[in-house]
Structure 1
Amino acid sequence: MPLSRRVALPWHLLGRLLAVSALTVGVLPAAHAGSADLSLYSGQKAGSLPVTLVAHDLSAPMQAGAPLVLSGAGGSASVQPQREAGRRNALLLKWDHAWYAALRLTPARALDLQALVPHATLELDLRVAQLAQGGIDFKMACGEACQRKLSYVVPGRALQGKGWQHLSFSLNCFARGGDDFSKVDVPFALEANGAGEVALANVRIVAHGKPNQSCPDYRSIAFEPSPLNQAWAMPRWMQRHEQKLALKQQMLAAGTAPELVFIGDSITEGWENDGKAVWQQYYAAYHALNLGYGGDHTENVLWRLQHGEVDGLQPKVAVLMIGTNNTGDRQDQPEVTAAGVARILQELRQRLPQTRVLLLAIFPREAGADAVLRRINEQINVRLAALADGDKVVFANLNSAMLDADGRLSTSVMPDLLHPQQRGYTIWAEAMQPVLTRMLASQP
């Protein structure tokens, strides 16, 4: 799969994987009083949760501490007991060429951790043997619509070769306002991609722990400028940024400054691939510039704008669509993602004061209208509409053109139910053309 398509994890597959792993029988009680520490994994001792290994669309429980290997088109992953001095109950996890791999500890019944959230920590011992070509995240989940992930790519790479490290994270790194942590069905998961090797041991929840690791504030992460720090995107993301800066300068020097700029994530970047012919037909005459980057969240777009991508330009219209990775990657709350988009609009107004912005609703994803991520995006879109003034910022929702009569998204439009193929880009261009023509022809 080309990198430009590797943007958001296919969460519709994750739902099925979680369903499989939930069948694994655990031994911890459904309720927890909130006053004592809770061991999640300590080897074969009583009280440890079962281990489930995932490699892309494959999933299997670890049996009686025996090594387990999964391998398929989406990469390979393995887990085996690792006995070392002082950590006789460790697990060694390896993965290679993996778009998605995971090690999950999953109880038979959801755990009640609600009372623990204000003062408890999730703690583990971690040894990073190899992570130069991969990345890891830690996750807890309290239902399909409550997948709380903490990226550990950069700090994880910093621990490579430094032996065992004790990590302690506040549960507040995972729980958000409104979350029901009385129903935690995945109290711990280590997710990975690329290639790597790590060992972990002594996974537990400490009722009155002291964190030694920091985490971003979920309420502001969407509008705090940051490069994209995901293993599959590094260093390609920064290389693309440098290339776009150079292309901008070339266009200005040649007297072909763009009248039209597209800003977004991989869905926008795809105009350079599946949408190339459609782009040529509709936008080449405007010397249009594509500033779409695979994997981008709102905070990544904000960083790019603050680091020169539109400086010196005076396009008539900037087309902005961003936010589906906030949803698919972190399940950001709709108001948080919308705040990130609002901050981008402020940045564009500051840097491109004469440019009108066509703000697009985030495209539908997943097949059905009732799918979790589709619903989150629709809640964001309601908030995005309120950011437009109908003049300098015009909002357009083109989503109905992408859907069947019953509201379903077809694989003939988006084969992976996220990224358009050529037909999808044709639908996009045709649906957008009337409003775009009006905006290009008039001044704000």
Structure 2
Amino acid sequence: MNHRVHALILCTALAAPLAHAQDLHVLPATPDAWRITVGHWEAQVELTGEAVAAPAPQAEYARSGYAGVSAHVGQGRRDALAFEWRNLWQSLLRVESRTPLDLRPYAAGTLEFDLDVTELARGGIRVKLACGPGCERSVNLIEPARGWAGQGWQHVSLPMSCFARERTDLSAITMPFALEGTGDGRVSVANVRIARAGKPGLACPDYRTESVTPSMLNEAWAIDWWKPRHEQKLEEKRQLLAAGTLPEIVFIGDSITQGWEKDGRIVWQQHFAKHHALALGFGGDRTENVLWRLQHGEIDGLSPKAVVLMIGTNNTGHRAEAPATTAAGIKRLLDEIHQRLPQSRVLLLAIFPRGERPDDAQRLINEQVNQIIAGYADGRNVHFLNINAALLQPDGTLSKDVMPDLLHPNERGYDIWQRAMAPTLQQLLRAPQ
């Protein structure tokens, strides 16, 4: 840390408590004021000295990963934290309170901090805050943060409403601040506070309409391939049209649908290739990302007999979205498909189970979504099918023999999917358009 940066941090830190006596100050703070940890999905370690690094993940694909943090200490206080991560799809720098905090007085305020981005060309960053028991929400900063790289300290001010929903309970929060990194990155953070009446400098998506507002997938791990894959699918569609081999089936979804091109490819070749089927699955997609793709030509000019749609697990998994909001995104997709393919019948699949146990929190949310979207079936344009029981054990657990990561099917899982779906799909293929 150079002298100019050190001076900026120290002067700002010394002035902040006097100017904002009613605010909650996270940094600067004495080393024992907060529990600071760094790590990833397998391990987290606490910062007790000047620096610490988490052990590398055990998973073979991530063994070269690194996550570490160092603290700049001045006058007995931690003025700034330097967070570095490499080759990780998720790394975390967490600041946790040793006793629960009541953040309700700050609900109309702002979360503010200074950020110095040293490196982010191959990474992304989010700011997170706990929003109640088992609840954490984040705001994606990848676009502005990449623009700040090498530009020195930038002040970030986000509305606390970015992290809250109608029934959010802020009465006992133990994590008032965290940074989540993906890919590779190096940033420093200082002057972290939650202000009662701050002025927001950045906006966040409106959670009430995010699932129905078309947008490209803006994640560090997707930026390099997502748009090129969209262009590739447009070309694939053009080739099918030019050859006169119009798809009879179009699959639309996220990474689970994209998996037909990977773990499910043998099953695909056996059962769907003869129908010139088109797979429009993109890993990480949420409903708004699929909507963007549909509005940018992926199904225009087609007239398949059946469209198989399954989407939503990333809405609920990535941002703890309410079931009704995810369901609204799915309904918006059904409307878009009908507008562009008025003669096609949609086979709307229930979101697949995830997590090992029946009481897995995200699985329960998905099941609530499924209950809502089942009502979208009209027996004519939209047909609903829930094959989840076929993927589960009799006791409701999800086996790694079917989904090794408890989310994505393997070849056996795709075979189960095909067999469970076949009777309904064949009816739709035989029905006159």
Same fold, judged at TM 0.5 (above): yes
Contact 1:43 / 1:90 at 8 angstroms: preserved in 2? no
State the one-letter code of the partner of 2:216: P
Partner of 1:238: 227
Give the secondary structure class of the aligned counterpart of 1:437.
helix
Partner of 2:104: 114
State the Cα distance separating 1:64 from its structure 2 match. 3.2
CA distance in 1, matches of 2:137, 2:269: 40
CA distance in 1, matches of 2:21, 2:313: 39
Partner of 2:93: 103
Contact 1:67 / 1:81 at 8 angstroms: preserved in 2? no
State the one-letter code of the partner of 2:26: L
State the Cα distance separating 1:387 from its structure 2 match. 1.2
CA distance in 1, matches of 2:422, 2:115: 53
Partner of 1:284: 273
Give the secondary structure class of the aligned counterpart of 1:229.
coil
Give the secondary structure class of the aligned counterpart of 2:241.
helix
Runs (4 or more) in structure 1 with deviation over 6 Å come to none
State the one-letter code of the partner of 2:39: V
> RMSD in angstroms over aligned alpha carbons?
1.8
State the Cα distance separating 1:128 from its structure 2 match. 0.6
> Which one of the candidate residues 169, 175, 193 is aligned to 1:186?
175
Give the secondary structure class of the aligned counterpart of 1:241.
helix
Give the secondary structure class of the aligned counterpart of 1:157.
helix
Contact 1:127 / 1:200 at 8 angstroms: preserved in 2? yes
CA distance in 2, matches of 1:350, 1:387: 16
CA distance in 2, matches of 1:249, 1:145: 46
State the Cα distance separating 1:187 from its structure 2 match. 1.3
State the Cα distance separating 1:99 from its structure 2 match. 1.5
Contact 1:248 / 1:309 at 8 angstroms: preserved in 2? yes
Post-superposition Cα deviations, 1:182-224, rounded to whole Å, max 9, x if no partner, equal 1222211100110011000111111111111110111111110
> Which one of the candidate residues 18, 42, 51 is aligned to 2:36?
51
> Which one of the candidate residues 396, 402, 422 is aligned to 1:407?
396
For structure 2, the 5+ residue unaligned runs are 1-19
State the one-letter code of the partner of 2:86: D
State the Cα distance separating 1:42 from its structure 2 match. 1.2
Rg larger in structure: 2
Contact 1:70 / 1:78 at 8 angstroms: preserved in 2? no
Contact 2:44 / 2:54 at 8 angstroms: preserved in 1? no
Partner of 2:81: 91
Give the secondary structure class of the aligned counterpart of 1:178.
coil
Partner of 1:78: 68
Give the secondary structure class of the aligned counterpart of 1:354.
coil
Partner of 2:142: 153
> Does 2:52 match 1:62?
no
CA distance in 1, matches of 2:308, 2:393: 25
> Does 2:149 match 1:163?
no
Give the secondary structure class of the aligned counterpart of 1:208.
coil
State the Cα distance separating 1:58 from its structure 2 match. 1.4
Partner of 2:329: 340
Of 193-202 and 60-69, more deviation after overlay is shown by 60-69
Post-superposition Cα deviations, 1:214-242, rounded to whole Å, max 9, x if no partner, equal 10111111110000000011120111000
Contact 1:144 / 1:372 at 8 angstroms: preserved in 2? no
Partner of 1:256: 245
> Does 2:192 match 1:206?
no
> Does 2:217 match 1:228?
yes
Of 373-382 and 179-188, more deviation after overlay is shown by 179-188
Q: Percent same amino acid at aligned positions?
A: 51
Contact 1:139 / 1:149 at 8 angstroms: preserved in 2? yes
Give the secondary structure class of the aligned counterpart of 1:414.
coil
Give the secondary structure class of the aligned counterpart of 2:343.
coil
Post-superposition Cα deviations, 1:235-277, rounded to whole Å, max 9, x if no partner, equal 2011100000000000000111101000000000000010001
Partner of 1:176: 165
Post-superposition Cα deviations, 1:383-441, rounded to whole Å, max 9, x if no partner, equal 11111112110000010001011111010010000000001001000000000000111
Partner of 1:140: 129
> Which one of the candidate residues 326, 349, 357 is aligned to 2:315?
326
State the Cα distance separating 1:144 from its structure 2 match. 5.0
> Does 2:59 match 1:37?
no
CA distance in 2, matches of 1:373, 1:56: 17
Partner of 1:316: 305
1:13-28 equivalence runs, <5 A: none
State the Cα distance separating 1:69 from its structure 2 match. 4.7
CA distance in 2, matches of 1:201, 1:334: 36
Q: Which has the higher contact order (CA 8 A, sep 6+)?
A: 1
CA distance in 2, matches of 1:194, 1:162: 21
CA distance in 1, matches of 2:167, 2:133: 14
Give the secondary structure class of the aligned counterpart of 2:272.
helix
Give the secondary structure class of the aligned counterpart of 1:71.
coil
Query: Are the structure 2 counterparts of residues 366 and 43 from structure 1 closer, same or farther at C-alpha, using a change threshold of 3 Å?
Result: same
CA distance in 2, matches of 1:393, 1:149: 34
State the Cα distance separating 1:72 from its structure 2 match. 3.1
Give the secondary structure class of the aligned counterpart of 1:262.
strand
Partner of 2:8: none
State the one-letter code of the partner of 1:195: D
State the Cα distance separating 1:88 from its structure 2 match. 7.1
Contact 1:134 / 1:192 at 8 angstroms: preserved in 2? yes
State the Cα distance separating 1:35 from its structure 2 match. 8.9
State the one-letter code of the partner of 1:77: A
For structure 1, the 5+ residue unaligned runs are 1-33
Of 302-311 and 176-185, more deviation after overlay is shown by 176-185
CA distance in 2, matches of 1:153, 1:304: 21
Contact 2:131 / 2:164 at 8 angstroms: preserved in 1? no
Contact 2:38 / 2:46 at 8 angstroms: preserved in 1? yes
Query: Are the structure 2 counterparts of residues 145 and 67 from structure 1 closer, same or farther at C-alpha, using a change threshold of 3 Å?
Result: closer
CA distance in 1, matches of 2:345, 2:237: 19
Contact 2:94 / 2:179 at 8 angstroms: preserved in 1? yes
CA distance in 1, matches of 2:226, 2:246: 23
State the Cα distance separating 1:325 from its structure 2 match. 0.5
Contact 2:53 / 2:66 at 8 angstroms: preserved in 1? no
CA distance in 2, matches of 1:385, 1:238: 31
